[in-house]
């Protein structure tokens, strides 16, 4: 999930930069790439949080068995 988040985040950033550069040239563009930036950041955050939860769970299980 983290790898997917990184890929989507990079694509969103590139899309947003392309829209900004296109807007400077007078083209009619949208900043829909920001949605991919947000989605990618969410996926990375969720993957990190899930990893922390699993570590806390395993630590709790190890302490309860002692």
Distance CA 8, CA 38 (A): 9
What residues make up the domain containing 37? 2-64
The 10s digit of each residue's pLDDT in 2-60 is 999 999 999 999 999 998 888 888 877 788 889 999 999 999 999 999 999 999 998 88
The domain tally of the chain equals 1
Alpha-carbon distance values, 1 to 17, 20, 24, 53, 58 (Å):
24, 28, 35, 15, 21
Token pair for 47: 């993957």
The 10s digit of each residue's pLDDT in 22-32 is 888 887 778 88
């Amino acid at each position: 999930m983290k790898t997917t988040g990184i890929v989507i985040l990079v694509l969103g950033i590139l899309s947003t930069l392309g829209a900004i550069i296109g807007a400077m040239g007078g083209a009619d563009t949208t900043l829909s790439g920001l949605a991919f930036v947000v989605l990618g950041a969410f996926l990375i955050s969720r993957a990190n949080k899930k990893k922390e939860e699993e570590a806390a769970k395993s630590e709790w299980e190890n302490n309860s068995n002692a």
